[in-house]
Chains A and B, each alone.
Chain A
């Protein structure tokens, strides 16, 4: 079993974005890993490991499309416990979702992976496209927004619960497959592999990289590939025409009476 996990680097969402030249200016941004991808690596590690022991049921390979020299987020995932990593060396800020999906699909094929696990979206543009596009490109079954997953190893399939608008939908997905995960996937009992003892004390968050993990991460293998190595010519079909900051919020007004409020809602705010 080989699990591929995607990780995207994003400008730190805690820092307010800067705008320049009709775009978000990321030149001075602090880059961090997309938090939903932390849920993805946690899912993959819980599927792969026998909780409380050292045995592994699957190899976990991290993949990221980013400049080869800007891959701290990949090292972070290696520190959390992934076995090795693949970096597709490209300027991710210039690629659209389809290009990224093509690159990841190509890595999936090259690796002969059994499962792709991704966060459901990235916190920067929240487009929620890549895993679905990869599934389409690879013609594989997919389960998106997974809230829980049970790996039925004897049947080589996943049972995935997805939280949808009117309840929980349960899907059975034969492997190989594509999985995107939602917040609840990191609750202590959300991921089951049939090997980790019931009641294993998983936290309700992605694990922290242990200090030993941080040290080991530097010794793990990272393959750097160019898009051309994967036979993919990248470019953006989706072009961003401009990004501007929303108008600054005006200070509020305190009105003296209900009558005045209604009058202002009607004449100034024009919502009545």
Chain B
């Protein structure tokens, strides 16, 4: 048995095995077709919900199952094996939509939204970015104005993962004055009059839907407000920490998928009468990939351990996100190169992953923003 890092137990192995089998049964045979079709079936949410994948890390009274950060890493690694970031992003979009509701929302709102999403009966999305700005959260423009027992939303959001079919959308809105002190989060049900959505075509992540949302006098009950008015900014920022760690985890897992595919190809492919892997230049590429993956994974696991101890090392999380997405950009590029023509043809995991690298170095906080935030945190 191969040695595992000290953070993992037999429990993590068992989780890995069950998620691996789930992926082999339910996802692997269909993923290429889903990606080409631009969607995976909604039933997959219910199947993942039944297995417990969606509930992982959420409180038990809401239908979840508490876990440590390494359980999350294991799930991400196993979902990533089929080489589709769109699948992970779409299936797990509640992973960024629900935590603010769990952290800040009142009990009635939690019970209305969370259990249904964790069972896979409803889809959840998070809407922060706007057509006028993504990273500049403090200056977002979508407004929610109190009117009796309702809030009335005006504005729009864009690049929203699962935005087209979400039943619950956690929306960042301006309820107060300018800047971060005027921001709240509010849950908008997908069928509210005044909400319209437009699908966006993307470079990658084809099987996850991405949308622009328009709120045109969209009326939402005040009970849908997540926590207190004008106190949403901190919730958004804390949520970003989890999202960035998840993105780092995804990037490393996809890097490994690229290496696995490139290695298998290099062993199998014959060039000029010899296996490709007998070429020193190819072996060195593989080692360069493995080296980056091992370094970044070790850092991820160390940060996950710190999170487990109750710390949130923000600067480290920012730098790790950049390191991991850079690792992925490198590994995807080299894997496609090693696969040659086959790496340029749809059906190769590396081909898909190559198209999906940029979304990870931009989404959840662009590389440049990560550096600035890290610099600020480090006092540079």
Q: Is residue B50 within 8 Å, beta carbon to beta carbon, of the partner chain?
A: yes
Whether B1 contacts A210 by the Cβ 8 Å rule is no
A215 to B11, CA, bound (A): 8
The answer to whether A118 has its CB under 8 Å from any CB of chain B is no
Picked from A30, A75, A212, the residue with its CB within 8 Å of the CB of B14 is A75
In the complex where A208-B18, A208-B51, A209-B18 touch, is A214 in contact with B11 (Cβ < 8 A)?
yes
Interface residues of A in 203-261 (CB under 8 A from B): 203, 205, 208-215, 217-218
B14 touches A79 (CB 8 A): yes
Closest Cβ–Cβ distance, residue B71 to chain A (whole Å): 8
Tell me if B53 counts as interface (CB < 8 A to partner A). Answer: yes
Taking a contact as CB atoms under 8 Å apart, the answer to whether A211 and B10 are in contact is no
Binary CB contact string for chain A from 70 to 90 against chain B (1 if under 8 A, 0 otherwise): 001001100100000000000
Name which residue of chain B comes closest to A30, CB basis: B1
**Interface: A127 (CB within 8 A):** no
Considering the chains assembled together, what is the distance between the CA atoms of A28 and B15 in angstroms?
22
Which DSSP category, helix, strand, loop or mixed, fits chain A's interface? helix
CB pairs A–B below 8 angstroms (13 shown)? A72-B10, A75-B10, A79-B14, A79-B18, A203-B25, A208-B18, A208-B21, A209-B14, A209-B17, A209-B18, A211-B51, A211-B52, A212-B52
Q: Which residues of A contact B (CB under 8 A)?
A: 28, 30, 72, 75-76, 79, 203, 205, 208-215, 217-218
Name the 10 nearest CB pairs between A and B, nearest first. A211-B52, A210-B52, A209-B18, A208-B18, A30-B1, A214-B14, A212-B52, A210-B51, A211-B65, A208-B21
Q: Least Cβ distance of B8 to chain A in Å?
A: 14
Interface size bucket, B side? 10 to 19
Q: Of residues 43 to 94 in B, which have CB atoms within 8 Å of A's CB atoms?
A: 50-53, 55-56, 65
For residue B18, which residues in chain A have a CB less than 8 angstroms away from its CB?
A: 79, 208-211, 214
A15 to B16, CA, bound (A): 18
B22 within 8 A of A: yes
CA distance A226 to B134 in the complex (A): 65
Contacts of B15 in A (CB 8 A): 211, 214
Taking CB atoms and an 8 Å cut-off, the chain B residues in 1-28 that contact chain A are 1, 10-11, 13-15, 17-18, 21-22, 25
* B47, chain A: closest CB distance, angstroms: 10
Q: Determine whether the beta carbon of A211 is less than 8 Å from that of B53.
A: yes
Question: Contacts of B10 on A, CB cut-off 8 Å?
Answer: 72, 75
Distance to closest chain B CB from A205 (angstroms): 7
Chain B nearest CB: distance from A211 CB in Å? Answer: 3
Residues in B neighbouring A30, C-beta threshold 8 A: 1
Complex CA distance for A30 and B4, rounded to whole angstroms: 13
The minimal Cβ–Cβ distance linking B295 to chain A, given in whole angstroms, is: 27
**Shortest Cβ distance from B13 into A: residue:** A72
B56 contacts A211, CB within 8 Å? yes
Contacts of B1 in A (CB 8 A): 28, 30
Residues of B within 8 A of A208 (CB): 18, 21-22, 25, 51
Complex Cα–Cα for A208 and B55 (A):
16
Which residue from chain A places its CB closest to the CB of B51 in the assembled complex?
A: A210
Per the bound structure, the CA–CA distance linking A218 and B9 in Å amounts to 13
Say whether, besides A28-B1, A72-B10, A79-B14, A211 and B25 are in contact (CB < 8 Å).
no
Which residue of chain A is the closest to B60 with respect to CB atoms?
A: A212
**Once bound together, how far apart are the Cα atoms of A212 and B119, in whole Å?**
13
The minimal Cβ–Cβ distance linking A15 to chain B, given in whole angstroms, is 10
Q: Name the residue of chain A whose CB is nearest to the CB of B20.
A: A208
